[in-house]
Structure 1
Amino acid sequence: MQEKSGSLVEWLVPLAFIFCAGWVTWHMPAFTLTLAQPQDPSQYDKLSALFARADVTPNMTGLFGGYADAVDWLALILIPVLAYVGMRTVRRAAMEFESWRAIDRLAVFIGRVTMMLVVLLCSVMIYEVILRYIFEAPTLWANELSLWLAGFVFLCAGLYAMQQRSHIRIFLIYDLLPRGLQRTCDVISTTLIVTFAFFLIYGGYGEAFDKFYRWETFGTVFDPPIPATLKPMVLVVVTLVAFQAIVNLISDWNAEPVLHTAADDIDQDELNKLRAAVGADVDVPAAATPHKNGTH
Protein backbone atom coordinates (compact mmCIF):
# COMPACT_ATOMS: atom_id res chain seq x y z
CA MET A 1 0.00 0.00 0.00
CA GLN A 2 1.37 3.40 -0.97
CA GLU A 3 1.44 5.93 1.85
CA LYS A 4 3.62 8.71 0.43
CA SER A 5 1.32 11.64 -0.22
CA GLY A 6 1.76 15.21 -1.36
CA SER A 7 3.51 14.84 -4.73
CA LEU A 8 3.01 17.63 -7.27
CA VAL A 9 0.93 15.53 -9.65
CA GLU A 10 -1.41 14.65 -6.78
CA TRP A 11 -2.37 18.32 -6.53
CA LEU A 12 -2.17 19.33 -10.19
CA VAL A 13 -4.61 16.64 -11.33
CA PRO A 14 -7.37 17.72 -8.89
CA LEU A 15 -6.79 21.34 -9.89
CA ALA A 16 -7.10 20.44 -13.58
CA PHE A 17 -10.22 18.41 -12.75
CA ILE A 18 -11.76 21.43 -11.02
CA PHE A 19 -10.93 23.66 -13.99
CA CYS A 20 -12.53 21.27 -16.52
CA ALA A 21 -15.58 20.63 -14.32
CA GLY A 22 -15.99 24.37 -13.77
CA TRP A 23 -15.71 25.06 -17.50
CA VAL A 24 -18.34 22.44 -18.36
CA THR A 25 -20.62 23.67 -15.58
CA TRP A 26 -20.38 27.28 -16.71
CA HIS A 27 -21.15 26.24 -20.32
CA MET A 28 -23.84 23.68 -19.45
CA PRO A 29 -26.56 25.65 -21.32
CA ALA A 30 -24.57 25.00 -24.51
CA PHE A 31 -24.68 21.25 -23.91
CA THR A 32 -28.38 21.37 -23.04
CA LEU A 33 -29.16 23.29 -26.22
CA THR A 34 -27.05 20.81 -28.21
CA LEU A 35 -28.10 17.49 -26.71
CA ALA A 36 -31.57 18.11 -25.26
CA GLN A 37 -32.97 21.19 -26.93
CA PRO A 38 -36.05 22.43 -25.03
CA GLN A 39 -39.35 22.30 -26.91
CA ASP A 40 -40.77 25.24 -24.96
CA PRO A 41 -39.80 28.42 -26.87
CA SER A 42 -39.51 30.46 -23.67
CA GLN A 43 -37.19 27.89 -22.13
CA TYR A 44 -35.14 27.81 -25.31
CA ASP A 45 -34.85 31.61 -25.32
CA LYS A 46 -33.80 31.62 -21.66
CA LEU A 47 -31.05 29.07 -22.17
CA SER A 48 -29.89 30.87 -25.33
CA ALA A 49 -29.65 34.13 -23.39
CA LEU A 50 -27.76 32.45 -20.55
CA PHE A 51 -25.38 30.86 -23.03
CA ALA A 52 -24.78 34.15 -24.86
CA ARG A 53 -24.03 35.91 -21.58
CA ALA A 54 -21.81 33.21 -20.04
CA ASP A 55 -19.92 31.99 -23.12
CA VAL A 56 -16.18 32.39 -22.48
CA THR A 57 -15.25 31.67 -26.12
CA PRO A 58 -17.94 33.49 -28.13
CA ASN A 59 -15.93 33.52 -31.34
CA MET A 60 -15.67 29.74 -31.61
CA THR A 61 -18.19 27.82 -33.71
CA GLY A 62 -20.16 25.03 -32.08
CA LEU A 63 -19.49 21.42 -33.11
CA PHE A 64 -22.01 18.85 -34.36
CA GLY A 65 -24.43 21.58 -35.34
CA GLY A 66 -24.88 22.69 -31.74
CA TYR A 67 -23.75 25.38 -29.34
CA ALA A 68 -20.91 23.60 -27.54
CA ASP A 69 -17.57 24.34 -29.19
CA ALA A 70 -14.32 22.37 -29.30
CA VAL A 71 -13.09 23.67 -25.94
CA ASP A 72 -16.37 22.68 -24.28
CA TRP A 73 -16.20 19.14 -25.62
CA LEU A 74 -12.53 18.82 -24.73
CA ALA A 75 -13.24 19.86 -21.13
CA LEU A 76 -16.12 17.37 -20.96
CA ILE A 77 -13.92 14.51 -22.22
CA LEU A 78 -11.11 15.41 -19.83
CA ILE A 79 -13.33 15.17 -16.72
CA PRO A 80 -13.50 11.32 -16.62
CA VAL A 81 -9.90 11.08 -17.89
CA LEU A 82 -8.61 13.28 -15.07
CA ALA A 83 -10.79 11.44 -12.55
CA TYR A 84 -9.22 8.14 -13.63
CA VAL A 85 -5.71 9.58 -13.55
CA GLY A 86 -6.44 11.09 -10.15
CA MET A 87 -7.62 7.75 -8.78
CA ARG A 88 -4.47 6.08 -10.09
CA THR A 89 -2.04 8.70 -8.79
CA VAL A 90 -3.58 9.56 -5.42
CA ARG A 91 -1.54 8.34 -2.46
CA ARG A 92 -2.71 7.57 1.04
CA ALA A 93 -1.27 9.91 3.64
CA ALA A 94 0.08 8.42 6.86
CA MET A 95 -2.90 9.56 8.92
CA GLU A 96 -5.55 8.37 6.46
CA PHE A 97 -7.58 5.17 6.63
CA GLU A 98 -5.89 2.02 5.32
CA SER A 99 -8.61 0.63 3.04
CA TRP A 100 -7.64 1.09 -0.60
CA ARG A 101 -10.30 -0.33 -2.92
CA ALA A 102 -11.24 1.42 -6.17
CA ILE A 103 -14.12 3.32 -4.59
CA ASP A 104 -11.83 4.26 -1.71
CA ARG A 105 -9.43 5.76 -4.23
CA LEU A 106 -12.33 7.72 -5.73
CA ALA A 107 -13.34 9.05 -2.32
CA VAL A 108 -9.75 10.05 -1.48
CA PHE A 109 -9.36 11.74 -4.88
CA ILE A 110 -12.59 13.67 -4.26
CA GLY A 111 -11.10 14.56 -0.90
CA ARG A 112 -8.09 16.04 -2.68
CA VAL A 113 -10.42 17.94 -5.01
CA THR A 114 -12.24 19.26 -1.94
CA MET A 115 -8.95 20.44 -0.44
CA MET A 116 -8.15 22.36 -3.62
CA LEU A 117 -11.65 23.86 -3.55
CA VAL A 118 -10.93 25.13 -0.04
CA VAL A 119 -7.75 26.76 -1.33
CA LEU A 120 -9.68 28.40 -4.17
CA LEU A 121 -12.42 29.50 -1.77
CA CYS A 122 -9.90 31.16 0.55
CA SER A 123 -8.20 32.81 -2.43
CA VAL A 124 -11.50 34.31 -3.61
CA MET A 125 -12.27 35.62 -0.11
CA ILE A 126 -8.79 37.14 0.29
CA TYR A 127 -9.06 38.74 -3.14
CA GLU A 128 -12.42 40.26 -2.24
CA VAL A 129 -11.17 41.57 1.11
CA ILE A 130 -8.18 43.25 -0.56
CA LEU A 131 -10.29 44.88 -3.24
CA ARG A 132 -13.02 45.93 -0.83
CA TYR A 133 -11.00 47.36 2.04
CA ILE A 134 -7.76 48.44 0.40
CA PHE A 135 -8.80 49.57 -3.07
CA GLU A 136 -12.50 50.22 -2.20
CA ALA A 137 -13.53 48.41 -5.38
CA PRO A 138 -15.51 45.30 -4.32
CA THR A 139 -16.41 42.69 -6.90
CA LEU A 140 -19.91 41.66 -7.94
CA TRP A 141 -19.12 37.96 -7.99
CA ALA A 142 -16.91 37.00 -5.03
CA ASN A 143 -19.72 36.49 -2.48
CA GLU A 144 -21.82 34.25 -4.74
CA LEU A 145 -18.76 32.33 -5.93
CA SER A 146 -17.75 31.75 -2.31
CA LEU A 147 -21.21 30.38 -1.52
CA TRP A 148 -21.09 28.18 -4.59
CA LEU A 149 -17.68 26.73 -3.78
CA ALA A 150 -18.59 26.29 -0.11
CA GLY A 151 -21.62 24.23 -1.13
CA PHE A 152 -19.46 21.84 -3.14
CA VAL A 153 -16.91 21.67 -0.32
CA PHE A 154 -19.61 20.77 2.19
CA LEU A 155 -21.03 18.01 -0.02
CA CYS A 156 -17.75 16.46 -1.19
CA ALA A 157 -16.25 16.53 2.30
CA GLY A 158 -19.09 14.29 3.46
CA LEU A 159 -18.00 11.50 1.11
CA TYR A 160 -14.39 11.80 2.21
CA ALA A 161 -15.46 11.75 5.88
CA MET A 162 -17.46 8.57 5.28
CA GLN A 163 -14.50 6.83 3.64
CA GLN A 164 -12.17 7.90 6.46
CA ARG A 165 -14.65 6.79 9.15
CA SER A 166 -14.29 10.29 10.60
CA HIS A 167 -18.00 11.04 10.87
CA ILE A 168 -19.50 11.40 14.34
CA ARG A 169 -20.01 8.04 16.03
CA ILE A 170 -20.88 7.22 19.65
CA PHE A 171 -19.10 4.10 20.94
CA LEU A 172 -20.25 4.07 24.56
CA ILE A 173 -22.49 1.02 24.11
CA TYR A 174 -20.97 -0.27 20.86
CA ASP A 175 -17.60 -1.06 22.49
CA LEU A 176 -19.30 -3.14 25.21
CA LEU A 177 -20.97 -5.46 22.68
CA PRO A 178 -19.46 -8.71 21.40
CA ARG A 179 -18.16 -8.65 17.83
CA GLY A 180 -21.25 -10.40 16.48
CA LEU A 181 -23.60 -7.73 17.84
CA GLN A 182 -21.21 -5.02 16.63
CA ARG A 183 -21.57 -6.41 13.10
CA THR A 184 -25.35 -6.38 13.55
CA CYS A 185 -25.19 -2.70 14.52
CA ASP A 186 -23.00 -2.01 11.49
CA VAL A 187 -25.53 -3.69 9.21
CA ILE A 188 -28.39 -1.70 10.74
CA SER A 189 -26.57 1.63 10.40
CA THR A 190 -25.59 0.88 6.80
CA THR A 191 -29.16 -0.14 5.99
CA LEU A 192 -30.44 3.14 7.43
CA ILE A 193 -27.93 5.12 5.34
CA VAL A 194 -28.91 3.31 2.14
CA THR A 195 -32.61 3.69 2.93
CA PHE A 196 -32.21 7.40 3.56
CA ALA A 197 -30.29 7.78 0.29
CA PHE A 198 -32.96 5.88 -1.64
CA PHE A 199 -35.87 7.98 -0.42
CA LEU A 200 -33.93 11.22 -0.78
CA ILE A 201 -33.17 10.40 -4.42
CA TYR A 202 -36.71 9.13 -5.01
CA GLY A 203 -38.27 12.26 -3.57
CA GLY A 204 -35.78 14.81 -4.87
CA TYR A 205 -34.98 13.59 -8.37
CA GLY A 206 -37.83 15.44 -10.07
CA GLU A 207 -37.02 18.82 -8.54
CA ALA A 208 -33.27 18.40 -9.05
CA PHE A 209 -33.69 17.44 -12.71
CA ASP A 210 -36.10 20.32 -13.29
CA LYS A 211 -33.69 22.87 -11.82
CA PHE A 212 -30.82 21.37 -13.82
CA TYR A 213 -32.75 21.26 -17.10
CA ARG A 214 -34.01 24.84 -16.68
CA TRP A 215 -30.53 25.84 -15.44
CA GLU A 216 -31.96 27.79 -12.54
CA THR A 217 -29.66 30.59 -11.43
CA PHE A 218 -29.19 32.53 -8.20
CA GLY A 219 -30.88 35.73 -9.33
CA THR A 220 -28.02 38.14 -8.60
CA VAL A 221 -25.81 40.29 -10.80
CA PHE A 222 -23.26 37.51 -11.10
CA ASP A 223 -26.17 35.04 -11.27
CA PRO A 224 -24.34 31.71 -10.85
CA PRO A 225 -26.32 28.47 -11.36
CA ILE A 226 -26.20 27.49 -7.70
CA PRO A 227 -29.66 25.82 -7.55
CA ALA A 228 -29.11 24.08 -10.90
CA THR A 229 -25.84 22.51 -9.75
CA LEU A 230 -26.09 21.93 -6.01
CA LYS A 231 -29.52 20.24 -6.10
CA PRO A 232 -28.33 17.43 -8.42
CA MET A 233 -24.98 17.32 -6.62
CA VAL A 234 -26.75 16.49 -3.37
CA LEU A 235 -28.24 13.39 -4.97
CA VAL A 236 -24.94 12.36 -6.57
CA VAL A 237 -23.00 12.68 -3.32
CA VAL A 238 -25.68 10.91 -1.27
CA THR A 239 -25.53 8.01 -3.74
CA LEU A 240 -21.74 7.83 -3.43
CA VAL A 241 -21.98 8.02 0.37
CA ALA A 242 -24.41 5.08 0.36
CA PHE A 243 -22.07 3.01 -1.81
CA GLN A 244 -19.15 4.00 0.41
CA ALA A 245 -21.08 2.92 3.51
CA ILE A 246 -21.59 -0.53 1.93
CA VAL A 247 -17.88 -0.73 1.04
CA ASN A 248 -16.98 0.26 4.60
CA LEU A 249 -19.21 -2.51 5.95
CA ILE A 250 -17.51 -5.09 3.74
CA SER A 251 -14.01 -3.79 4.50
CA ASP A 252 -14.55 -3.74 8.28
CA TRP A 253 -16.47 -7.02 8.53
CA ASN A 254 -13.47 -9.12 9.57
CA ALA A 255 -11.63 -6.33 11.37
CA GLU A 256 -10.59 -6.93 14.94
CA PRO A 257 -12.72 -5.17 17.58
CA VAL A 258 -11.24 -1.89 18.78
CA LEU A 259 -11.63 -0.29 22.19
CA HIS A 260 -11.91 3.45 21.78
CA THR A 261 -10.31 5.59 24.47
CA ALA A 262 -9.27 9.19 24.98
CA ALA A 263 -5.78 8.21 23.78
CA ASP A 264 -7.18 7.86 20.25
CA ASP A 265 -7.15 11.64 19.97
CA ILE A 266 -3.41 11.84 20.65
CA ASP A 267 -1.34 12.26 17.50
CA GLN A 268 2.09 10.81 18.22
CA ASP A 269 3.57 12.35 15.06
CA GLU A 270 2.47 15.80 16.20
CA LEU A 271 3.95 15.21 19.64
CA ASN A 272 7.26 14.19 18.09
CA LYS A 273 7.26 17.34 15.94
CA LEU A 274 6.55 19.47 19.01
CA ARG A 275 9.42 17.83 20.87
CA ALA A 276 11.76 18.53 17.96
CA ALA A 277 10.52 22.12 17.67
CA VAL A 278 11.07 23.03 21.32
CA GLY A 279 14.29 21.02 21.50
CA ALA A 280 13.36 19.52 24.83
CA ASP A 281 12.83 16.02 26.06
CA VAL A 282 9.24 16.42 27.13
CA ASP A 283 7.71 13.50 28.94
CA VAL A 284 4.41 13.04 27.14
CA PRO A 285 2.48 9.76 27.27
CA ALA A 286 2.63 7.86 24.00
CA ALA A 287 -0.46 7.61 21.88
CA ALA A 288 -2.36 4.41 21.62
CA THR A 289 -1.37 2.17 18.76
CA PRO A 290 -3.32 3.28 15.67
CA HIS A 291 -6.27 0.97 15.20
CA LYS A 292 -6.97 -0.64 11.90
CA ASN A 293 -10.47 0.57 11.31
CA GLY A 294 -9.51 4.25 11.62
CA THR A 295 -12.58 5.23 13.64
CA HIS A 296 -12.61 7.99 16.25
Structure 2
Amino acid sequence: MDRWNGILKVPLRSNSRKFYRVAVSLCLSPTSKTLTVPRANAIFFNGDRVEGTGNPVIEGLSNLQNIAEILVSKFGDSTNAWVVEASDFNGAFAIYQDFIPSLNRWGEPKSYTPNGFPASLSTVSLLGSCYNEVKKIVSRGKPGSQETTIPTLSGCTPETVILGFSKGGTVVNQLVTELGSKDLIAADENLPLSKQESGVECSKLDENQFIPTTEHSFLKSITEIHYVDVGLNTHGAYLTDPEVIKRISSSLIQESRGIRFVLHGTPRQWCDRRRVWIRDEKETMTSFLESEALRSGGNLQVYEKFYFADRPADMQMHFEIIEKLDVCR
Protein backbone atom coordinates (compact mmCIF):
# COMPACT_ATOMS: atom_id res chain seq x y z
CA MET A 1 0.00 0.00 0.00
CA ASP A 2 1.38 3.39 -1.02
CA ARG A 3 0.92 6.36 1.29
CA TRP A 4 0.79 10.14 1.27
CA ASN A 5 2.77 11.49 4.22
CA GLY A 6 3.21 15.04 5.38
CA ILE A 7 2.67 17.68 8.04
CA LEU A 8 -0.12 20.12 7.29
CA LYS A 9 -0.83 23.51 8.81
CA VAL A 10 -4.54 24.06 8.44
CA PRO A 11 -7.28 26.20 9.98
CA LEU A 12 -10.02 24.56 12.00
CA ARG A 13 -12.54 26.33 9.79
CA SER A 14 -12.21 28.35 6.60
CA ASN A 15 -12.68 31.66 8.45
CA SER A 16 -10.42 30.77 11.38
CA ARG A 17 -7.21 32.65 12.12
CA LYS A 18 -5.80 29.82 14.23
CA PHE A 19 -3.92 26.98 12.58
CA TYR A 20 -3.27 23.42 13.69
CA ARG A 21 -0.26 21.30 12.78
CA VAL A 22 -1.44 17.83 11.80
CA ALA A 23 0.82 15.01 10.65
CA VAL A 24 -0.96 12.62 8.31
CA SER A 25 -0.21 9.28 6.72
CA LEU A 26 -2.98 8.45 4.25
CA CYS A 27 -3.67 5.44 2.05
CA LEU A 28 -2.99 5.85 -1.66
CA SER A 29 -3.94 3.52 -4.47
CA PRO A 30 -0.70 1.95 -5.80
CA THR A 31 -2.01 2.15 -9.36
CA SER A 32 -3.89 5.45 -9.62
CA LYS A 33 -1.97 7.25 -6.83
CA THR A 34 -5.25 8.65 -5.53
CA LEU A 35 -6.58 8.67 -1.99
CA THR A 36 -8.38 5.50 -0.95
CA VAL A 37 -11.05 5.02 1.68
CA PRO A 38 -9.30 3.35 4.64
CA ARG A 39 -10.48 0.61 6.93
CA ALA A 40 -10.02 2.96 9.88
CA ASN A 41 -8.98 6.49 10.84
CA ALA A 42 -6.62 6.62 13.83
CA ILE A 43 -6.67 10.09 15.40
CA PHE A 44 -3.95 10.88 17.94
CA PHE A 45 -4.12 13.99 20.14
CA ASN A 46 -0.65 15.01 21.26
CA GLY A 47 0.34 16.57 24.58
CA ASP A 48 2.56 19.35 25.89
CA ARG A 49 5.77 20.29 24.11
CA VAL A 50 9.05 18.88 25.37
CA GLU A 51 12.05 20.40 23.62
CA GLY A 52 15.78 20.56 24.10
CA THR A 53 16.08 17.44 26.24
CA GLY A 54 19.07 16.11 24.34
CA ASN A 55 17.48 12.67 24.60
CA PRO A 56 17.19 11.14 21.10
CA VAL A 57 14.32 8.85 22.16
CA ILE A 58 12.24 11.74 23.47
CA GLU A 59 13.11 13.96 20.52
CA GLY A 60 12.24 11.24 18.01
CA LEU A 61 8.92 10.42 19.66
CA SER A 62 8.03 14.11 19.87
CA ASN A 63 8.09 14.27 16.07
CA LEU A 64 4.52 14.29 14.75
CA GLN A 65 5.37 12.47 11.52
CA ASN A 66 7.18 9.72 13.41
CA ILE A 67 4.09 9.22 15.55
CA ALA A 68 1.91 8.96 12.43
CA GLU A 69 4.17 6.25 11.03
CA ILE A 70 4.06 4.37 14.34
CA LEU A 71 0.26 4.45 14.29
CA VAL A 72 0.23 2.90 10.82
CA SER A 73 2.60 0.17 12.01
CA LYS A 74 0.29 -0.54 14.96
CA PHE A 75 -3.10 -0.41 13.28
CA GLY A 76 -2.18 -1.62 9.79
CA ASP A 77 -1.49 -0.35 6.29
CA SER A 78 -5.18 0.16 5.57
CA THR A 79 -5.40 2.77 8.35
CA ASN A 80 -5.18 6.53 7.91
CA ALA A 81 -3.21 8.21 10.71
CA TRP A 82 -3.84 11.78 11.91
CA VAL A 83 -1.64 13.28 14.64
CA VAL A 84 -3.02 16.54 16.01
CA GLU A 85 -1.03 19.18 17.85
CA ALA A 86 -2.84 21.88 19.82
CA SER A 87 -3.17 25.24 18.08
CA ASP A 88 -2.34 27.21 21.22
CA PHE A 89 0.43 26.89 23.78
CA ASN A 90 1.23 28.71 26.99
CA GLY A 91 4.94 28.10 27.00
CA ALA A 92 5.18 24.32 26.75
CA PHE A 93 1.57 23.72 27.84
CA ALA A 94 -0.85 22.60 25.12
CA ILE A 95 -4.25 24.29 25.10
CA TYR A 96 -7.07 22.60 23.15
CA GLN A 97 -9.45 25.53 23.56
CA ASP A 98 -11.58 24.71 20.49
CA PHE A 99 -12.15 21.18 21.77
CA ILE A 100 -12.69 21.90 25.49
CA PRO A 101 -14.09 25.38 26.19
CA SER A 102 -13.62 25.30 29.98
CA LEU A 103 -9.83 25.32 30.27
CA ASN A 104 -7.54 27.25 32.57
CA ARG A 105 -4.45 29.08 31.36
CA TRP A 106 -2.41 25.84 31.48
CA GLY A 107 -4.83 23.93 29.27
CA GLU A 108 -6.29 21.96 32.17
CA PRO A 109 -10.07 21.36 32.16
CA LYS A 110 -12.33 22.94 34.73
CA SER A 111 -15.06 20.49 33.70
CA TYR A 112 -16.26 18.29 30.86
CA THR A 113 -19.67 19.03 29.39
CA PRO A 114 -21.19 17.78 26.11
CA ASN A 115 -23.04 21.02 25.37
CA GLY A 116 -22.56 21.87 21.70
CA PHE A 117 -20.33 18.83 21.06
CA PRO A 118 -17.19 21.01 20.73
CA ALA A 119 -14.61 18.20 20.54
CA SER A 120 -16.42 16.10 17.95
CA LEU A 121 -17.33 19.12 15.82
CA SER A 122 -13.76 20.42 15.97
CA THR A 123 -12.34 17.01 15.07
CA VAL A 124 -14.66 16.64 12.09
CA SER A 125 -13.86 20.16 10.90
CA LEU A 126 -10.11 19.72 11.31
CA LEU A 127 -10.01 16.40 9.47
CA GLY A 128 -12.12 17.93 6.72
CA SER A 129 -9.63 20.78 6.33
CA CYS A 130 -6.75 18.30 6.18
CA TYR A 131 -8.54 16.08 3.70
CA ASN A 132 -9.33 18.99 1.38
CA GLU A 133 -5.73 20.21 1.51
CA VAL A 134 -4.29 16.78 0.70
CA LYS A 135 -6.84 16.29 -2.07
CA LYS A 136 -5.63 19.53 -3.69
CA ILE A 137 -2.00 18.46 -3.42
CA VAL A 138 -2.69 15.01 -4.86
CA SER A 139 -4.75 16.48 -7.70
CA ARG A 140 -1.98 18.95 -8.59
CA GLY A 141 0.30 15.99 -9.11
CA LYS A 142 -2.04 14.53 -11.74
CA PRO A 143 -2.01 16.82 -14.82
CA GLY A 144 -5.34 17.08 -16.60
CA SER A 145 -7.22 15.42 -13.75
CA GLN A 146 -10.40 17.23 -12.81
CA GLU A 147 -11.57 14.84 -10.10
CA THR A 148 -9.87 12.56 -7.63
CA THR A 149 -11.24 9.02 -7.49
CA ILE A 150 -11.33 7.15 -4.22
CA PRO A 151 -11.25 3.34 -4.38
CA THR A 152 -12.33 1.67 -1.17
CA LEU A 153 -10.21 -0.64 0.98
CA SER A 154 -13.10 -2.05 2.97
CA GLY A 155 -16.75 -2.84 2.54
CA CYS A 156 -18.04 -0.39 5.12
CA THR A 157 -17.63 3.11 6.46
CA PRO A 158 -14.23 3.47 8.19
CA GLU A 159 -14.03 2.93 11.91
CA THR A 160 -12.53 5.64 14.11
CA VAL A 161 -9.80 4.97 16.67
CA ILE A 162 -9.15 7.74 19.20
CA LEU A 163 -5.87 8.10 21.08
CA GLY A 164 -4.92 10.75 23.61
CA PHE A 165 -1.33 11.06 24.79
CA SER A 166 -0.50 12.91 28.01
CA LYS A 167 -2.38 16.26 27.88
CA GLY A 168 -4.13 14.96 24.75
CA GLY A 169 -6.13 12.73 27.08
CA THR A 170 -8.26 15.75 27.96
CA VAL A 171 -9.63 15.76 24.42
CA VAL A 172 -10.41 12.05 24.77
CA ASN A 173 -12.31 12.75 28.00
CA GLN A 174 -14.32 15.44 26.24
CA LEU A 175 -15.12 13.09 23.36
CA VAL A 176 -16.19 10.34 25.78
CA THR A 177 -18.42 12.88 27.54
CA GLU A 178 -20.02 13.76 24.21
CA LEU A 179 -20.34 10.08 23.32
CA GLY A 180 -22.30 9.60 26.56
CA SER A 181 -24.45 12.68 26.05
CA LYS A 182 -28.20 12.39 26.54
CA ASP A 183 -28.63 14.37 23.33
CA LEU A 184 -26.81 11.88 21.13
CA ILE A 185 -29.52 10.01 19.25
CA ALA A 186 -28.79 6.32 18.75
CA ALA A 187 -28.82 5.49 15.05
CA ASP A 188 -26.96 3.39 12.56
CA GLU A 189 -25.34 5.73 10.03
CA ASN A 190 -23.48 3.16 7.94
CA LEU A 191 -23.68 3.91 4.24
CA PRO A 192 -25.67 1.62 1.94
CA LEU A 193 -23.51 -1.03 0.33
CA SER A 194 -24.36 0.39 -3.10
CA LYS A 195 -22.34 3.52 -2.29
CA GLN A 196 -19.23 1.58 -1.33
CA GLU A 197 -18.08 0.38 -4.72
CA SER A 198 -14.45 0.68 -5.74
CA GLY A 199 -13.51 3.69 -7.84
CA VAL A 200 -16.47 5.89 -6.94
CA GLU A 201 -15.77 9.47 -7.94
CA CYS A 202 -14.88 11.75 -5.06
CA SER A 203 -17.52 14.26 -6.08
CA LYS A 204 -20.19 11.54 -5.97
CA LEU A 205 -18.96 9.75 -2.85
CA ASP A 206 -20.61 10.55 0.45
CA GLU A 207 -17.60 11.97 2.29
CA ASN A 208 -18.37 10.16 5.52
CA GLN A 209 -16.98 7.11 3.72
CA PHE A 210 -13.56 8.77 4.03
CA ILE A 211 -14.05 10.87 7.15
CA PRO A 212 -17.27 11.56 9.07
CA THR A 213 -18.87 14.91 8.26
CA THR A 214 -21.11 15.40 11.30
CA GLU A 215 -20.55 15.11 15.02
CA HIS A 216 -23.17 12.36 15.13
CA SER A 217 -21.60 10.18 12.44
CA PHE A 218 -18.15 10.78 13.92
CA LEU A 219 -19.13 9.69 17.43
CA LYS A 220 -20.99 6.66 16.09
CA SER A 221 -17.91 5.57 14.11
CA ILE A 222 -15.68 5.29 17.20
CA THR A 223 -14.71 1.69 17.96
CA GLU A 224 -11.58 2.13 20.08
CA ILE A 225 -10.50 4.68 22.69
CA HIS A 226 -6.91 4.66 23.95
CA TYR A 227 -5.63 6.63 26.93
CA VAL A 228 -1.84 6.79 26.46
CA ASP A 229 0.00 7.67 29.69
CA VAL A 230 -2.35 10.56 30.36
CA GLY A 231 -1.84 12.86 33.31
CA LEU A 232 -2.31 16.40 34.55
CA ASN A 233 -0.99 18.56 37.35
CA THR A 234 -4.55 18.74 38.60
CA HIS A 235 -7.61 16.50 38.57
CA GLY A 236 -9.27 15.55 35.28
CA ALA A 237 -6.80 13.18 33.60
CA TYR A 238 -9.43 10.42 33.46
CA LEU A 239 -13.20 10.64 33.25
CA THR A 240 -14.86 9.63 36.52
CA ASP A 241 -18.54 10.29 35.82
CA PRO A 242 -20.34 6.92 36.09
CA GLU A 243 -23.48 8.22 34.37
CA VAL A 244 -21.54 8.98 31.18
CA ILE A 245 -20.15 5.43 31.10
CA LYS A 246 -23.60 3.96 31.78
CA ARG A 247 -25.18 5.90 28.92
CA ILE A 248 -22.45 4.78 26.53
CA SER A 249 -22.97 1.17 27.58
CA SER A 250 -26.75 1.41 27.17
CA SER A 251 -26.32 2.93 23.72
CA LEU A 252 -23.98 0.12 22.67
CA ILE A 253 -26.47 -2.50 23.84
CA GLN A 254 -29.33 -0.82 22.01
CA GLU A 255 -27.39 -0.48 18.76
CA SER A 256 -25.56 -3.85 18.96
CA ARG A 257 -22.18 -2.25 18.40
CA GLY A 258 -18.97 -2.23 20.39
CA ILE A 259 -16.27 0.04 21.77
CA ARG A 260 -12.96 -1.00 23.27
CA PHE A 261 -11.38 1.18 25.96
CA VAL A 262 -7.66 0.65 26.54
CA LEU A 263 -5.81 2.42 29.34
CA HIS A 264 -2.04 2.46 28.80
CA GLY A 265 0.27 3.72 31.53
CA THR A 266 3.80 3.86 32.91
CA PRO A 267 5.28 4.44 36.37
CA ARG A 268 5.82 8.05 35.25
CA GLN A 269 2.08 8.70 35.65
CA TRP A 270 0.48 5.81 37.52
CA CYS A 271 3.10 5.66 40.30
CA ASP A 272 3.69 9.39 40.83
CA ARG A 273 3.39 9.97 44.59
CA ARG A 274 3.16 13.72 44.07
CA ARG A 275 0.11 13.32 41.83
CA VAL A 276 -1.73 10.41 43.41
CA TRP A 277 -5.01 11.54 41.85
CA ILE A 278 -3.86 10.22 38.46
CA ARG A 279 -3.83 6.62 39.66
CA ASP A 280 -6.97 7.16 41.75
CA GLU A 281 -8.87 8.52 38.73
CA LYS A 282 -7.58 5.69 36.56
CA GLU A 283 -8.77 3.10 39.08
CA THR A 284 -12.17 4.79 39.36
CA MET A 285 -12.69 4.93 35.61
CA THR A 286 -11.52 1.34 35.17
CA SER A 287 -13.96 0.17 37.83
CA PHE A 288 -16.89 1.91 36.10
CA LEU A 289 -15.85 0.52 32.72
CA GLU A 290 -15.48 -3.03 34.05
CA SER A 291 -18.92 -2.86 35.62
CA GLU A 292 -20.50 -1.71 32.37
CA ALA A 293 -18.50 -4.27 30.37
CA LEU A 294 -20.26 -6.99 32.34
CA ARG A 295 -23.67 -5.37 31.98
CA SER A 296 -23.24 -4.87 28.23
CA GLY A 297 -22.32 -8.49 27.60
CA GLY A 298 -19.09 -7.51 25.89
CA ASN A 299 -20.32 -4.62 23.75
CA LEU A 300 -18.12 -2.42 25.92
CA GLN A 301 -14.65 -3.82 26.56
CA VAL A 302 -11.88 -2.50 28.79
CA TYR A 303 -8.18 -3.36 28.96
CA GLU A 304 -5.39 -2.01 31.11
CA LYS A 305 -1.75 -2.10 30.00
CA PHE A 306 1.17 -1.24 32.28
CA TYR A 307 4.56 -0.66 30.65
CA PHE A 308 8.13 -0.52 32.03
CA ALA A 309 7.00 -1.83 35.42
CA ASP A 310 10.57 -2.83 36.31
CA ARG A 311 12.06 0.60 35.60
CA PRO A 312 12.17 3.72 37.78
CA ALA A 313 9.92 6.49 36.52
CA ASP A 314 11.48 8.94 34.07
CA MET A 315 10.52 11.19 31.18
CA GLN A 316 11.85 8.84 28.51
CA MET A 317 9.34 6.08 29.29
CA HIS A 318 6.53 8.64 29.04
CA PHE A 319 7.36 9.02 25.34
CA GLU A 320 8.68 5.52 24.75
CA ILE A 321 5.23 4.11 25.47
CA ILE A 322 4.12 5.47 22.08
CA GLU A 323 6.58 3.14 20.36
CA LYS A 324 5.78 0.17 22.62
CA LEU A 325 2.02 0.59 22.45
CA ASP A 326 0.07 -2.69 22.50
CA VAL A 327 -3.22 -1.89 20.79
CA CYS A 328 -4.82 -5.26 21.62
CA ARG A 329 -5.88 -6.04 18.09
TM-score interval w.r.t. the shorter chain?
Answer: under 0.3
Greater helix fraction, Structure 1 or Structure 2 = 1
Q: Which has the larger radius of gyration?
A: 1
Q: TM-score, normalised by structure 1?
A: 0.26
